[in-house]
Structure 1
Amino acid sequence: MITLPAASARLAVDDLERQTAHWLAAATTFLDAEEFAAEPAWRSVEAQVGLPLRRQLAHIVTDLIASGRSATALIRAARLDPRRLDAAARAVQSFRRRYAQVEVTLDFFGDAVNSRTSGQLRAALQTLDRLAEDSMAPVLAQAGQLPVPVLVYLDKGMGASILRAGIRLWAPGSVNPVAAIKIVRHNLYRPTSLFHESGHQVAFLTGWVPSVRASITAALDGDPELQSMWAPWSSEIAADVFAFVHTGFASVTALYDVVGDARSILRWPVGDPHPIGYLRTLLGCALCRCVFGPGSWDALEQAVAVSHPVERADPTVRALVARSRSRLNAIALACLGSPVPGLGGRPMTSVVDPTRVSPSALADLEHDAGASLWVSPHWRRTEGIRLIALAGLREAERPLDAALWIARARDWMTAEPPSARAA
């Protein structure tokens, strides 16, 4: 304990009180959710997402303010008894650090909600909220898990990401009540990555990743080097499989557009949990081949091989990449058949049938629904995920008409829901 002369102690106490008053006043502004996101954006977040999120954020802010008031009480005690000065100073330091952690949490969710900057974006992101929840619901129901509310937000960059529900947030003692999924602008209207991210949430809740890792390891039996390379990629591969069983070939072409940078597609950065982009794309083609038979994915596989010769890979991984190519079908089958502990050991395909997004199945949907497919609220509600699969498939198959399919996807995703019109 540092003992200060009375005059110096008063100065120290005065400064601590000044500091705490500043941070406490700043913290009280967080009580108004509109300090970090606009009211129309908050309104666009469905009740099952917005209410638990705002409740959690309010709890975080209340705890922060309580921490500030506790620091103030210690400061005032130190004014009467200078021996309490050290404890008061520590409390102030703890409070200001807590403020910074809470600010990060609120800014993250404020920016996420506030990405709904226009009526069109609000409609699109509301659609994606629902579709992500729809992709998880059947699996979680059969696994005995509660539904997971989703908040989709728009951001820049190349790839999507997720802040999973149930993990600890930056603010001490706080747990994320929603799955916050980032969708990037270039894929907003071809959002197959949405299901990759919801796949991460499902894999976490059902214990799927260790099973995928074991299945891949078994498929690569006899090649310990390949096993060591592929096993750490299991989490991302599981999420890729989840996206594939929901959106088929569309998920593969969209993925390739993200990882297809010639500077990195054959690189293996140390510690990167994602498969080498080249192998990741070809594994997607193998998934298509194993479920759908021959098709457009064979041409994509050849195009990738021609555009990015394995010889360009770093010598340390070149042989591993080449050997992996001959095992991709086996890896794909292993992943599709890997047992999911949360489903009693059944594979993911027992709940989400990938043949529903085969080219022939999507063509049947297109034929049966006719012109109403892209305008009917019924089809938007019941077949939204397959509409994403169909639009992505057609965009891949008919590149000269890509703009048409993007526009079509944009129109149905931003259509005002019937409930909003009625209101």
Structure 2
Amino acid sequence: MPDNPMLDTPMPDAPMPDAAAFATRLLRDEARGLLTRLDQVRPFALHETMVLAAALPYGAHVTIERFLHAARGHLRARVYAYLHWLDGIGSRATAAEQQRRFVLIRLEFNAVLSQFDLFTEVITQRSEHGTGVWLSGLDVLAADALRVDVAGYEPPPVVCYLARGPGAAIRRARTRLPGGRPNPVAIIRVPRERMVGGSVASSLIHEVGHECSAQLGLVESMRRDIAAAARRHPGGRGQGGSWPAWHAWIGEILADCFAVGRLGIAGTVGLLAVVSLPAYFVFRPSGDDPHPVPYLRVLISAGIGEALYPHPQWAALRRAWKDLYPLGELPAERVAQLRRIEADIPELVDLLLSHSPAALGGRRLGDMFDAGRRTPQRLLHLHRQWAGDVGVLARRSPSLVFAVLGQAKAADLISPERESRMLSTLLAAWAVRSSLDVVQNTSRTRAPALQPTGWS
């Protein structure tokens, strides 16, 4: 076969670009490529599938979409401004300056992706069969628990999702997200192992307590009261270790107080389930950990419950906890320290429930929980009155329903299996009712439309 003359002809070398121009072109291409990737970050309403009952609360969903829309719009504007600069006076800047400006934009792009991924984790679970509807029901429970009768208090939107591990957590509203922007909603991570049982409410409302405490400034005001009490009693028992411990642990103690205040004994029993760990961890000194030593934490929760809702059940619960974790095998010094702090629990509980910060307008913290309507006797009366009728329970306050069922289980009136079946049904009922309320309300009043730019 004859040789192909085209193959024998040497190709001319491509001209080597000027180094500065080459760097500028690289950065221009990267910026334009970033825009194409940003366009792939679409609103959740366009790519998440879920049944209506599993949807996020309408206010939370709109707030999240607007938050992410604003972030994408701001980033897009920065990229276009950079390209305009690069094609103008920036073309005369050094390559290092061009790179410095682009890197800052790229960091912001990754922050936007981190924000998107955070909310994706929350929303994607709504497509799981069963789980999505339960989560929507937990949203209703969290919103109910967040309501506090305090002038000027505006509870933020709240959404829930499941995660591995025994403990719950919250990313509070208005705290900083990656990139520095404030979080538009409260996000509560619920332990998957709690689903579905009464203790899920204890974990969830504990996290709600963190949100309420932050909104009302309770941690700071309680620490001032603790410091003042320590000064008034410099030679008292607190000098032996209690006052510094209360000061370090008060954020978690306040959150536990909300759980017991809303749920009664179900709050403490749920906590007991979470901190039931090998004995080493139950007695281990907490060091810098803001959580109380688990052994003491259950006793503090029971002390709060007994002060709010007096009943012999609290003494029985304390005895059961001590039987589960006897002190006998601990070193004598550690036993003495734990008993010394335990002896101060009533003093702490009194200080906590009588706390009257400015945010409460003269009321005490203990007055927030309407304790007269959630006594064990009242909860058991409601249990008998409602007679397990899910139609009746579904129309009641979710936190009250969890308190009633928790009290009934503590009194051995319902089994764990029946409690789980009832709660699964109720979570679905609250989710359906919430979604239908949204449909009804939005059919009357249309929300202001978003103004998208591309797929923003």
TM-score (norm 2): 0.82
Structure 2 residue aligned with 1:51:
62
1:243 equivalent among 244, 253, 259: 259
Shift of 1:385: 0.9
Flag the 1:79–1:241 CA change in 2: closer, same or farther, 3 A: closer
CA distance in structure 1 between the aligned counterparts of 2:401 and 2:331, rounded to whole angstroms: 40
For the pair 1:154 / 2:168, whether they are aligned, the reply is: no
Structure 1 residue aligned with 2:424:
410
Shift of 1:336: 1.7
Shift of 1:125: 2.0
2:348 equivalent among 317, 320, 331: 331
Q: Which moved more, 1:304-313 or 1:403-412?
A: 304-313
- Structure 1: gaps of 5 or more residues: none
CA distance in structure 1 between the aligned counterparts of 2:330 and 2:27, rounded to whole angstroms: 59
**1:202-221 alpha-carbon deviations (Å, 9 max, x no partner):** 11121212333344556664
1:202 equivalent among 212, 220, 223: 212
Superposition pairs for residues 50-199 of structure 1, below 5 Å?
50-77=61-88, 80-81=91-92, 83-118=93-128, 120-139=130-149, 142-172=150-180, 174-189=181-196, 190=198, 191-199=201-209
1:302 equivalent among 319, 340, 344: 319
For the pair 1:289 / 2:302, whether they are aligned, the reply is: no
CA distance in structure 1 between the aligned counterparts of 2:115 and 2:331, rounded to whole angstroms: 40
Larger radius of gyration: 2
Structure 2 residue aligned with 1:227:
243
Flag the 1:28–1:122 CA change in 2: closer, same or farther, 3 A: same
CA distance in structure 2 between the aligned counterparts of 1:176 and 1:420, rounded to whole angstroms: 24
CA distance in structure 1 between the aligned counterparts of 2:94 and 2:50, rounded to whole angstroms: 44
> Contact 1:157–1:185 at 8 Å: present in 2 too?
yes
Code of the aligned partner of 2:160:
V
Shift of 1:51: 0.8
C-alpha RMSD over aligned residues: 2.8
Flag the 1:246–1:255 CA change in 2: closer, same or farther, 3 A: same
Code of the aligned partner of 2:242:
L
**1:129-167 alpha-carbon deviations (Å, 9 max, x no partner):** 22222222233xx23122321111222211111111122
Q: Which moved more, 1:244-253 or 1:382-391?
A: 382-391
Flag the 1:420–1:86 CA change in 2: closer, same or farther, 3 A: closer
For the pair 1:17 / 2:28, whether they are aligned, the reply is: yes
Structure 2 residue aligned with 1:258:
274
Shift of 1:390: 2.2
Q: Which moved more, 1:187-196 or 1:243-252?
A: 187-196
Secondary structure at the residue paired with 2:394? Answer: helix
> Contact 1:396–1:402 at 8 Å: present in 2 too?
no
Code of the aligned partner of 1:387:
V
Q: Which moved more, 1:351-360 or 1:26-35?
A: 26-35
Flag the 1:324–1:89 CA change in 2: closer, same or farther, 3 A: same
CA distance in structure 1 between the aligned counterparts of 2:173 and 2:273, rounded to whole angstroms: 28
Q: Which runs of 4+ in 1 moved over 6 A?
A: none
Secondary structure at the residue paired with 1:338? Answer: coil
State how many pairs are aligned. 412
Structure 2 residue aligned with 1:269:
286
Structure 2 residue aligned with 1:394:
408
Shift of 1:312: 5.1
Superposition pairs for residues 1-16 of structure 1, below 5 Å?
7-16=18-27
CA distance in structure 1 between the aligned counterparts of 2:436 and 2:276, rounded to whole angstroms: 41
CA distance in structure 1 between the aligned counterparts of 2:302 and 2:153, rounded to whole angstroms: 32
For the pair 1:345 / 2:376, whether they are aligned, the reply is: no
Secondary structure at the residue paired with 1:197? Answer: helix
Shift of 1:365: 0.8
CA distance in structure 1 between the aligned counterparts of 2:229 and 2:324, rounded to whole angstroms: 28
> Contact 1:246–1:386 at 8 Å: present in 2 too?
yes
For the pair 1:360 / 2:371, whether they are aligned, the reply is: no
CA distance in structure 1 between the aligned counterparts of 2:179 and 2:331, rounded to whole angstroms: 42
Shift of 1:332: 1.8
Shift of 1:34: 5.4
- Structure 2: gaps of 5 or more residues: 1-15, 440-456
Shift of 1:39: 5.9
Flag the 1:419–1:404 CA change in 2: closer, same or farther, 3 A: closer
Structure 2 residue aligned with 1:279:
296
Flag the 1:369–1:306 CA change in 2: closer, same or farther, 3 A: closer
Secondary structure at the residue paired with 2:26? Answer: helix
> Contact 1:64–1:98 at 8 Å: present in 2 too?
yes
> Contact 1:20–1:68 at 8 Å: present in 2 too?
yes
> Contact 1:31–1:61 at 8 Å: present in 2 too?
no
CA distance in structure 2 between the aligned counterparts of 1:134 and 1:347, rounded to whole angstroms: 21
Shift of 1:77: 3.8
Code of the aligned partner of 1:45:
L
CA distance in structure 1 between the aligned counterparts of 2:247 and 2:434, rounded to whole angstroms: 46
